Amino acid sequence: PFNPCLTEAQYKEMEEKVSSTLSGLGGELKGTFYPLTGMSKDVQQKLIDDHFLFKEGDRFLQAANACRFWPTGR
Q: Which residues sit in the known binding site?
A: 51
DSSP letter assigned to residue 55: P
SS3 52: coil
Say if residues 17 and 24 touch (Cβ distance below 8 Å).
no
Say if residues 4 and 67 touch (Cβ distance below 8 Å).
no
- Residue numbering of the annotated binding site for ATP: 51
